[in-house]
A = this chain, B = another copy of it.
Amino acid sequence: MRAINIGILGLGVVGSGTVEIVNRNREEITRRLGCEINVTQGSARSTNKPALEKFDIDITTDSYAVINNPDIDIVAELIGGTTLAKELVLAAIAKGKHVVTANKALIALHGNEIFAAAKAQGVRVAYEASVAGGIPVIKAIREGLTANKIDWLVGIINGTGNFILTEMRDKGRSFEDVLKEAQALGYAEADPTFDVEGIDAAHKLTILGSIAFGIPLNFEKTYTEGISTISTDDVEYAKELGYEIKHLGIARKVDAGIEMRVHPTLVPDKQLIANVNGVMNAVMVMADAVGPTMYYGAGAGSEPTASAVVADIVDVVRYMKTEEVRQVPYLAYQTDALEAQQIVAIDDVQSAYYLRFHAEDKSGVMADITALFAAEDVSIEAVVQKEAVSDVSPILMLTNVVKERAINSLIEKLSALGSITSKVVRIRVEHLQ
Contact = CB atoms under 8 A, between A and B. Distances in A.
A97 interface: no
How many copies of this chain?
2
A29 B144 CA distance: 12
A289 B295 CA distance: 17
Interface in A281-302: 284, 286-298, 301
A379 interface: no
A109 to B, nearest CB: 14
Nearest to A269: B275
A164 interface: no
Contacts of A21: 147-148, 289
A268 interface: yes
Interface residues of A, number: 140
Interface in A11-35: 17, 21-22, 24-25, 28-29, 31-33
Nearest to A210: B331
B258 A342 contact: yes
Interface stretch (A131-139, A183-191, A411-419): A131-139
A118 B329 CA distance: 11
Interface of A: 17, 21-22, 24-25, 28-29, 31-33, 111, 115-116, 118-119, 122, 124-125, 128, 133-136, 139-149, 154, 210-218, 221-223, 229-231, 233-234, 237-238, 240-241, 243, 245, 248, 250, 254, 256-261, 263-268, 271-273, 275-276, 284, 286-298, 301, 303-304, 306-311, 314-315, 319, 323, 326-333, 335, 337-344, 346, 348-350, 354, 356, 382, 384, 394, 396, 398, 425, 427-432
